[in-house]
Amino acid sequence: MKINELQTGMKRVDIEASVVEKGNPRQVQSRYSGETLNVADAIVQDETGTMKLTLWNEQIDLVNVGDNIKIENGYVTSFKSEIQLNIGKFGKLTVL
């Protein structure tokens, strides 16, 4: 699948892309468990476009700018009118 094909609400997304930007981690409070989580945004691209990727906790340290990554079983959401790719607890992130 390619970035330009992704739409809000899609599930079971498998995609390969390059990390072109990675923001600084920040802490957020989970609305479900109340625990503090680390989150960072990255921008990934393929030959069809770019998209925001949300990284949580240990995923943040896995990827760096310039890495080629593969996401399996990801999903697409919309936050503040911007679509973004998420890995979630059932998805898998691999640095190629």
Residue spans of the domains in the chain: they are: 3-95
CATH number for the domain running over 3-95? 2.40.50.140
What rounded mean pLDDT belongs to the chain? Answer: 95
Specify the pLDDT at position 81.
87
Amino acid of residue 46: D
Q: How large is the average pLDDT for residues 25-33?
A: 90
> Cα separation of 66 and 51, whole Å?
15
What pLDDT shows up at residue 44? Answer: 98
Predicted pLDDT at 30? 84
Instruction: Please give the single-letter amino acid code of residue 39.
Output: V
pLDDT in tens, 32-46: 888 999 999 999 999
Average pLDDT over residues 27-31: 90
Residue-level pLDDT at 33: 86
Beta bridge partners of 16: 70
> 50-76, pLDDT tens digit by residue?
999 999 999 999 999 999 999 999 999
